Structure 1
Amino acid sequence: MQQRLIQEQALQWKMNQSLLQAIQLLQFSSAELMDYIKEVANENPLVEDVETNYDFSAYNRGNDTHPDLGDINPAEVSMYEKLKGQLFTLDVPENMLPIVNYGIDSLDETGYLSCELKTWAEDCDVSLEIAERALSIIQSLEPVGIGARSFQECIILQLRAMDEHTNTEIAANVLENHLEWIANNEVEMIAEEYGLPEKDASGLIDNIRACHPKPGNLLASQKANYIIPEAAIVKEEGQWKISFYKWSKPTITINHSYEKMTDLEKIEKDYLKEKRQQIDWLNQAISYRVNSLERIIRQVIQKQFMYFDKGVEWLQPLTLKEVADELDISISTVSRSIQNKYIQTSSGVLPIKFFFPRGIEQKNGKTTAAFAIKQIIATIIQTEDKQKPLSDEGIRQKLSDDYDIDIARRTVMKYRKQLRIPSSMKRK
């Protein structure tokens, strides 16, 4: 009975490891995916070949023109902005947002909380309980470990997400008192000290080593040197279709010569089995990544078909929740899938996030994409009489008369300023 329990725990750990890898690959761009696979290939002797010889830089040189659609090119985004960007995937009460944002702004660059909860509560004029609730929201963000108040808490948060069977009390004690045992792989010492089977002690060490001590570094600001699309949206026989590039679906070839080796020791067989399992997991994660992305892009085409047919003025408001509900997946899966991903369109290479514009509710009850309204305003101003430029009220009236868009004058002024277009007086 005891043996069966241990086997189930080991299986659960493997399943969690496989799931974590799938989630990790889901948010990789094509370039990051290829780099990751190369790392695996370098240390896995069973990998015979990987189709990684795609010249990204050559593609970029041949496709270095981008549409003038506003600020859609990648910019440097800080760790703090990335974390705040995740909040919209959570059901955070509006009155909690300023408190949570305060906590995010109080993290150091490695992702640890740099202020005391008491100070946090006092500065936000809330109770300690509410500050703790805000901290729990931050600690639910990715990467796991963000918002920890100590190294031990950072690792424990990751262990809980990684493997529900890990004894976090023992793990916390080891981290507090015997960190050198982890560094030196002292399986026997841990097993003896805490009365664990050596297999469990070894698993504990592996799990702790798999954790990242500075999760904030995973969100370090990085500016892309080039943009590589995952797929192209092309029209064939009157239908919009998806064509994935080869680098989005790399193929890993296994060297099967090891299967002919019959005189291996058990430790060698176990090693090769582990490496084969690593490749199987990686292939599954790659398939999960591309399948998830394809389903989401298909939904984007379906929801934004008027944009593809007629242009940017027809872009519709779209939320991650709408797509998640249609596909019966979580909002966080959609968010991860489109992170840092681009697609080739007839208008150029665009981030997939471009197709999830915020909607603005008009006076007449209709909802229109804010981005589309901005582009229409830009077009109106470009074609206006240069001797008699339109005032913000004039633009508002033209939006209503010509485009059936009914918004306030102050909204027109706000969008005009965001487009960096001067007032009518300065346009004369």
Structure 2
Amino acid sequence: MELRNGLFQQQSLKLSMTQELSQAIALLQYTSQELAAYLEERAAENPLVSLDSSPEGSFAVEIKRKNRLKAPREKDAMYWLEQIGDQSISLSEYLRWQLSLYSLNHLEKKVMNSLILNLDQNGYLRASLEDIAEITGCESELVEKCLCELQMLEPAGIGARNLQECLLLQSKRMQYVFCHTETILRDHFLLFAEKKWKELARKLDISLKDIQDVQDFVLTLNPRPGASFQQEKSSYVVPDVKVEYLDGVLQVRLPENHANQWDLNQSYFDALKSYRDQSVDKFLHEKWQEFQWISKSLQQRKETILKVTKQIVKKQERCFLKGLGELKPMTMREVAEELGIHESTVSRTVREKYVQAPFGTVELRAFFTSNLQSVSSDDISAVTAKKELHLLVESEDKTKPLSDQDISVILKMEKGIILSRRTVAKYREQLGIPSSSKRKRYN
């Protein structure tokens, strides 16, 4: 073979990721909040942009501002409604308030403060007594005494070092406790938790019904006594698309948001254009090009969201009218093929986006579910299968709970739904349903 150097021409086709295409893909998968933040950032850097911050358009941003301005507004009587039921006291403040009613000396206050500082968000003590003694420079006996006093405060179970101690502390405060409760929790907690009840019944010479009663009582206790003091802010969901039932027809539309307020600042554009300066012309060209790119990407984003949502509504019309209980099997691949777009485009379109349907606001991804085998020719969705599985477990005889294999057989014979034993186990775990051995109750 002859090898030689030279210049040659060759034609080839390839897909290149342009800046405009990359930007369009990024904007498509943005949520409403992410899009609002992005557009505000671009508007701050581009003087040609006019971004009208109307109350409706800036809803997501105003939520964040409200959280930042909450402290001054708490004193305003106009916002009294927002303060109803607001848990404004922390766990540490609540404990210190209770301790203020006790007569503690300087060292006891020092140890108590160290103990409180070492409580986690669930109210458990995460430092050893030796560590507390070393930190405070106090005797171990004093630290242990202070811990006992701390554990006598509210809420019950506070200051426990593990789940076993937490449950014991709570059970000791109850006026009526089932027989053997303290013995089981103190001396046989592992057997009890692992539900090795037959072995436990032989050791204590009691019936399985007695252990069942203890379990029913323990389930009324709080394994995380400090969790109720965690001040979590309410999360707000801003719908990206609305589906309304008007004049007997399901109609799809996009709500007002920042994308609708993105416009050209015509007066500033005309003012810059009148200058006869090379640097100004270059600046104007760059900012105008950026404005055009984002405007085109926003328009494409709107069209794609509307197109995908309309197809979802078309295939899930009964679901939108009746609720998610009427969900039919539908995959992203099916929607993509019917619209003539790539499956990844559908995935980006529905990513973390919510639809305001007639029955409530849900994530767009909720309308996609796999197709399961059935005895008949009718399609069965995974949601329907889980619903039937849940109803079956709810109606079972708890003294003889159904195994995963039993559920598989009954669903096939009575409902025509074909699920393997492993699939039943997977769906059961997703629904938070324990295994048959843990569902069993004793008379």
Return the TM-score normalized by structure 2: 0.51
Give, in angstroms, the shift of residue 29 of structure 1: 0.7
Give, in angstroms, the shift of residue 325 of structure 1: 1.0
Measure the CA separation in 2 of the matches of 1:300 and 1:239: 15
- Letter of the 2:363 partner, please give it: P
Give, in angstroms, the shift of residue 365 of structure 1: 6.6
SS at match of 1:308: helix
The residue that corresponds to 1:28 in the other structure is 30
The residue that corresponds to 1:380 in the other structure is 392
Measure the CA separation in 2 of the matches of 1:300 and 1:401: 32
The residue that corresponds to 1:230 in the other structure is 240
Alignment of 1:56 with 2:60, yes or no, is yes
The residue that corresponds to 1:312 in the other structure is 324
- Determine which of 4, 15, 19 is the counterpart of 1:17: 19
Q: Do the aligned residues in 1 keep the contact of 2:329 with 2:368 (CA within 8 Å)?
A: yes
Unaligned residue ranges in structure 2 (runs of 5+):
1-14, 67-233
- Determine which of 251, 256, 259 is the counterpart of 1:249: 259
SS at match of 2:432: coil
Distance 1:246 1:59, change over 3 A: farther
Measure the CA separation in 1 of the matches of 2:255 and 2:293: 22
- Letter of the 1:16 partner, please give it: T
SS at match of 2:369: coil
Measure the CA separation in 1 of the matches of 2:349 and 2:357: 18
Q: Do the aligned residues in 2 keep the contact of 1:52 with 1:250 (CA within 8 Å)?
A: no
- Determine which of 27, 42, 45 is the counterpart of 2:44: 42
SS at match of 1:344: strand
Measure the CA separation in 1 of the matches of 2:279 and 2:43: 21
Measure the CA separation in 2 of the matches of 1:347 and 1:426: 35
- Between the aligned residues of both structures, percent identity stands at 33
- Letter of the 2:262 partner, please give it: I
Q: Do the aligned residues in 2 keep the contact of 1:25 with 1:286 (CA within 8 Å)?
A: yes
The residue that corresponds to 2:270 in the other structure is 259
- Letter of the 1:38 partner, please give it: E
The residue that corresponds to 2:430 in the other structure is 418
Indicate the structure (1 or 2) with the bigger Cα radius of gyration.
2
SS at match of 2:243: strand
Q: Do the aligned residues in 2 keep the contact of 1:21 with 1:285 (CA within 8 Å)?
A: yes
The residue that corresponds to 2:214 in the other structure is none
Give, in angstroms, the shift of residue 401 of structure 1: 5.3
Per-residue CA distance 1:118-146 (angstroms, 9 max, x = gap): xxxxxxxxxxxxxxxxxxxxxxxxxxxxx
The residue that corresponds to 1:192 in the other structure is none
Alignment of 1:302 with 2:314, yes or no, is yes
Per-residue CA distance 1:291-340 (angstroms, 9 max, x = gap): 10111111111122232233334322222221111111111211211112
Return the TM-score normalized by structure 1: 0.52
Q: Do the aligned residues in 1 keep the contact of 2:328 with 2:369 (CA within 8 Å)?
A: yes
Measure the CA separation in 1 of the matches of 2:383 and 2:274: 64
Per-residue CA distance 1:62-113 (angstroms, 9 max, x = gap): xxxxxxxxxxxxxxxxxxxxxxxxxxxxxxxxxxxxxxxxxxxxxxxxxxxx
Per-residue CA distance 1:161-206 (angstroms, 9 max, x = gap): xxxxxxxxxxxxxxxxxxxxxxxxxxxxxxxxxxxxxxxxxxxxxx
Measure the CA separation in 1 of the matches of 2:22 and 2:54: 23
Q: Do the aligned residues in 1 keep the contact of 2:321 with 2:358 (CA within 8 Å)?
A: no
Alignment of 1:336 with 2:345, yes or no, is no
Measure the CA separation in 2 of the matches of 1:379 and 1:310: 19
Unaligned residue ranges in structure 1 (runs of 5+):
1-11, 62-223
Aligned-residue CA RMSD (Å) = 3.2
- Letter of the 2:335 partner, please give it: V
Q: Do the aligned residues in 1 keep the contact of 2:404 with 2:421 (CA within 8 Å)?
A: yes
Measure the CA separation in 1 of the matches of 2:26 and 2:384: 33
Distance 1:58 1:232, change over 3 A: farther
Give, in angstroms, the shift of residue 373 of structure 1: 1.0
Give, in angstroms, the shift of residue 384 of structure 1: 4.8
Measure the CA separation in 2 of the matches of 1:314 and 1:401: 22
- Letter of the 2:20 partner, please give it: S
SS at match of 2:260: coil
Give, in angstroms, the shift of residue 267 of structure 1: 2.1
Moved more, 39-48 or 313-322: 313-322
The residue that corresponds to 2:109 in the other structure is none
Q: Do the aligned residues in 1 keep the contact of 2:373 with 2:417 (CA within 8 Å)?
A: no
Distance 1:424 1:309, change over 3 A: farther
Distance 1:46 1:300, change over 3 A: same
- Letter of the 1:259 partner, please give it: D
Q: Do the aligned residues in 2 keep the contact of 1:313 with 1:373 (CA within 8 Å)?
A: no
The residue that corresponds to 1:353 in the other structure is 365
1:28-177 aligned within 5 A: 28-51=30-53, 53=55, 54-56=58-60
